[in-house]
Chain A
Amino acid sequence: MKIISIEEITEDMVIAQDIYSSSSQRLVAKGTVVSDSLKKSLLRYNITRVPVEEARKKRVFSKEEVEKAEEAIKEEVLRRFRGFPSDSMNILLFNEILRIEAREKLDSE
């Protein structure tokens, strides 16, 4: 972990510790990927220094890694959908959810 100035954070970084406001309200959870709205929100609370994970920048995964992660969660997503959907929009929805959750799984490993 390293602590950097809010001006230096970029959208490929991951927050390393929960961040709280001066009134003890949790603003950001550990593990959150930095986004533009998150940066704005921290600035509103006058948070000027931010803990970020050094090694866990947004990573690039190989096709094989992504396919393996998708295979690992496919059964769970199929269960939610009561099986593979039957029309193009529902198939697209299924595939997008699979892709997002596989990415989330890889990011958390």
Chain B
Amino acid sequence: MNKINTLKIKDLPVFPDILLNLNRVLHSKSVTIDTVNTIIERDPALTAKILKLANSSYYGLSYMVGTLKKAITVLGFNTIRNLAVTVSVSGIFTANTSRSVDVQKLWHHSIGCAIASKSLLTGKNPLIQEKAFMGGILHDIGKIIILLNFPEDTKKIIEKIRGNKLLTESEAERELLGFDHADLGSFIAEKWHFPKELACSISLHHNPEQFPSFTGKLENREEAELLVYTIYTGNQIAKAMALGTSSDPLVSNINPTAWQKLGITEKDLPSVILKIKENFKEVIDSWNM
């Protein structure tokens, strides 16, 4: 992480003040619908986009919500924050073009990881399901920042991994930059005031087995570990099902510990996979991102 600080990354994507405020108030236990409504409504374009996403078939509401306040009431603070972040992060991804990385497909891969991660936790606490969705949306944000700051190195990284199927993107990034996109993404998540366990799951999304040696301060280590294994598995499944395209698209055998931590058995897996496929199609068709 020190290397990231010393490199003085110049171009950090602008994370709207509205979302920083939202992240701050959602840390508080006394947050109200009116507070969240007032913060988001300052941006009419963002409000309109949130309503469009909230009314998509992915959320399966039995009636159409016409106001933000109603959407917050029906879907909850964390889903609304997720939608606001999804809209903003979509802008960060799609505002960048590159010859070495297909940014649109990488963004769809992030959506795929978010959907897969949330689906893996079906039946669990809705709050952790929403954190898993957010983790999927943000897990590769470090790649975009590397692309913005080091376009020539990005080209070399992609050439290296295409030339050597055994080399991962993280390994190539470390060789060239001294850190990888997971380190950088975690650093950004903290800077943008996301919960610590989310930053941890971004940091370990390729190496969940390293969780026991994670020294950062976490409120609930058990929940953080579940989130780490969820984002890791969601990422691998998104690659395996070709939901979008990662710049490092090959799948590693999913660590058997992940299925145990998630409580997913051979009996459950087929329906989970089918649900992910259907949800991804629904979202891509109706969100137009």
Contact = CB atoms under 8 A, between A and B. Distances in A.
Q: Do A and B bind each other?
A: yes
Interface of A: 25-29, 32, 35, 37-38, 40-41, 44-45, 79-82, 85-90, 92-94, 96-97, 100
A82 B250 contact: yes
A26 B278 contact: no
A7 B51 CA distance: 26
A69 to B, nearest CB: 16
A85 to B, nearest CB: 5
Contacts of A37: 57-58, 60, 282
A27 B52 CA distance: 10
Q: Interface of chain A, helix or strand or loop or mixed?
A: helix
30 contacts: A25-B52, A26-B285, A29-B285, A35-B57, A40-B57, A40-B60, A40-B61, A41-B57, A41-B286, A44-B55, A44-B64, A79-B250, A80-B239, A81-B250, A81-B251, A82-B165, A82-B251, A88-B266, A89-B254, A89-B259, A89-B269, A93-B237, A93-B240, A93-B254, A93-B273, A96-B269, A96-B270, A96-B273, A97-B240, A100-B273
Contacts of A44: 55, 61-64
Contact of A27 (B61, B270, B273, B286): B286
Contacts, number: 84
Interface size band for B: 35 or more
Interface of B: 52, 55-58, 60-64, 165, 237, 239-242, 249-254, 256, 259, 266, 269-270, 273-274, 277-278, 281-282, 285-286, 288
A89 B256 contact: yes
B233 to A, nearest CB: 10
Contacts of B241: 97, 100
